[in-house]
A and B are shown apart, each in its own frame.
Chain A
Amino acid sequence: MTYLPNIIFAILLVAGVGFFVRNIKKIIRNIKLGKSVNRSDNSKARWKNMALIALGQSKMVKRPVAGILHILVYAGFIIINIEVIEIIIDGIFGTHRILSFAGSLYNFLIGAFEILAFLVFISVVIFWIRRMVLQIPRFWNKEMTSWPKNDALNILYFEMVLMSLFLLMNASDYSLQQLGVSHYINAGSFPVSQFIAAWLPQDIHTLELLERGAWWTHIIGIFIFLNYLYYSKHLHILLAFPNTYFANLNPKGQFNNLESVTNEVKLMMDPDADPYAAPADDAPEPEKFGASDVFDLNWVQLLNAYTCTECGRCTSVCPANITGKELSPRAIMMKTRDRLEEVGRNIDTNKEFKPDEKQLLNDYIAPEELWACTSCNACVEECPVNIDPLSIILDMRRYLVMEQSVAPQELNMMMTNIENNAAPWQYNQMDRLNWKDE
């Protein structure tokens, strides 16, 4: 029976990690539903982007208050996870503070974890106040109701609870060390939790219960949080890294040229081409132009959708959104993810995608949103992890125009003018140089 806790721990560990890996595989499968796009070039610039933007948080501090608080939480998350290694080893082998042989280094680390945990707790409380008390507008746009709102709060509560448990665990451990209980070797330094310890009862049995209770709920909480990621916008803690690595490196104004169109235009302009030629029997199905569903987007755009943590900086700088239009770049990303997850569940149930009479266009994203975009790139510039909502908007416009011919009437007139007289307005091309004599 003495090994029962070790066995339970091992089962929880395997289940927690196993379930997480299973879900990550689903995410990878869903992202691979996207079309191919080559982002293997210029790996030096890509690593640099990842180091500066994801690891270095360089775009976060553009808004200093949120940025600095975020860095504290982020540093806390990464550094305190070193302690999780010890917790896992202790859990499996039934040891206690196995790494304490490191002596003063160990003491320093535990002390640092405590201070970070305290700072994380404070930062998260401030985040909560910004969201719920100050009600900063970007947290209250209309796409931030129901699940997105609860998701954001869940994450904050999770972190508050985990940090509290960590400190409570240390506080009771510290008290037990002070009382000279043999199992609780003298190790660690407790700059924060010693103050909590002063409030704890000095009864060995109660303290042991508290210490074990906090230890177990803390690590189980971490396993739960790990598995919560898959269902949450919080995935950005992992996906920010590949997302910044694979982000577009070209000038922001450069939109891709559709290769399928290039081939057709070349054929049309080729004087030797036979205008009546039928396609060869083995010719592949002509490619669909633009995007009406997630399958038509490329895998980086789908990765973008999973990476978005719904901070709303994009929407807060979008000229269309600022002036009350329906468009919100954040909502474009959220809707793309919602549809992608729906497709994923469809595949889970039916082994392969079974047509469901739905698509990203109209069922999720309305043309009115797409036509409000000025392509100004403010959203792309603003995103702290280099998400590109504009590329999705453009691909969907392409579908509306080239597959459905449903551009707003004035745009159709503009395009007709370009076709007929090589200018977006109705002027004769022969009058192009008249200005010099006016």
Chain B
Amino acid sequence: MDVPTMAEMMAQGKQPEVLFWVGCAGSFDDRAKKISKAFVKLLQKANVDFAVLGTEESCTGDPAKRAGNEFLFQMQAMTNIEVLNAYEVKKIVTACPHCFNTLKNEYPELGGNYKVMHHTEFLKSLLDEGRLTIEGGAFKGKRITFHDPCYLGRANSIYEAPRDLIKKLDVALVEMKRCKINALCCGAGGAQMFKDSEKGDKEIFVERTEEALERSPDIIATGCPFCNTMMTDGVKNKEKENSIKVLDIAELIANAEDL
């Protein structure tokens, strides 16, 4: 797969239209890597001139900040900002709402000012500009429910871009009881992804998956690698992994057209 880096671009004296911030999950997590690839396929299909930082990318510091380690967060942030500013990056797109939120909201005060977009917003803009077309294909007529990632929804008030994309697939979009601004967290935010949950009587991802299953979906769509992990675990927990798929919106669109 042809994924140019900023360093290569710079060597050729080129400046890409947008930087794809892959994120740690998108780089290392086996499930999330598929999301990165699906998104790159869409970028290529739409002829978007993009690049990644590759080995120069490092954690935004989000999990450290949410865990309370402001030092580590700011060390990461300032290191990243130095790199981003050196490449004169103007626009960033990422498939991780946690990276998205941190880059968009918490970097400016530390000297990192970029136009930051979540990949669903970016894909929506490509669609609106006519650079990308979406067809139902493989998913036509399927029941899809969308789980709102907290850091996309409540944290940044983005509810419609992912839904607009799903609707383009000629599917039946069914909403969970708690959706959009009232959505229930998958349980991974605030650095919970990296630890066992505290003592309680249920796992949050099971609670959320049960809610999704109430709508008998064929597919649970997400827009976050962590939500994806949690919902996938939830579906396995309910032994439904053969009948229900958990897919990122980028995967939905790419798979629909068999890219």
Give A residues with C-beta under 8 Å from B: 250-255, 257-258, 261-262, 264-266, 268-269, 289-290, 317, 319-320, 322-327, 368, 371-378, 380-381, 394, 396-402, 407-408, 410-411, 413-415, 418-419, 422-425, 427, 429-433, 435-438
Contacts and interface: CB of A to CB of B under 8 A. Distances in A.
Nearest to A419: B72
A312 to B, nearest CB: 16
A254 B58 contact: no
A430 B58 CA distance: 10
B157 A251 contact: yes
Interface residues of B, number: 72
A425 B65 contact: no
16 contacts: A254-B106, A254-B155, A262-B110, A319-B185, A320-B198, A325-B199, A371-B198, A374-B188, A378-B182, A401-B69, A411-B194, A414-B64, A418-B72, A424-B24, A432-B57, A438-B33
Interface string B167-203: 0000000000000011011011111111111111111
Interface in B43-89: 52, 54-55, 57-59, 61, 63-72, 74-76, 78-79
Contacts of B109: 257
B55 A432 contact: yes
A262 B52 CA distance: 27
Most buried by B among A253, A400, A424, A435: A253
A415 B64 contact: yes
B87 to A, nearest CB: 16
B75 A432 contact: no
Contacts of B72: 415, 418-419
Nearest to A413: B194
A376 B64 contact: no
A236 to B, nearest CB: 23
Nearest to B74: A265
B70 A410 contact: no
Nearest to B193: A424
B1 A436 contact: yes
Given A265-B74, A414-B67, A418-B72, A424 B37 contact: no
Nearest to A250: B105
A435 B198 contact: no
B150 to A, nearest CB: 4
Given A325-B200, A424-B63, A432-B22, 11 more contacts: A251-B105, A264-B71, A268-B75, A319-B207, A322-B184, A326-B200, A373-B190, A374-B150, A376-B189, A378-B182, A414-B191
A378 B154 contact: yes
A374 B181 contact: no
Interface of B: 1-3, 5, 22, 24, 26-29, 33, 36-37, 40, 52, 54-55, 57-59, 61, 63-72, 74-76, 78-79, 101, 104-106, 109-110, 150-151, 154-157, 181-182, 184-185, 187-204, 207-208
B189 A375 contact: yes
Most buried by A among B104, B195, B202, B208: B195
Contact of B5 (A290, A325, A407, A433): A433
A255 B65 contact: yes
B68 A397 contact: yes
B158 to A, nearest CB: 10
Given A262-B110, A376-B190, A411-B67, A418 B1 contact: no
Given A422-B58, A424-B63, A414 B194 contact: yes
Nearest to A266: B78
Given A250-B105, A407-B68, A422-B59, A319 B155 contact: no
A430 B5 CA distance: 13
A350 B221 CA distance: 60
Contacts of A319: 184-185, 187, 204, 207-208
Contacts of B207: 319, 322-323
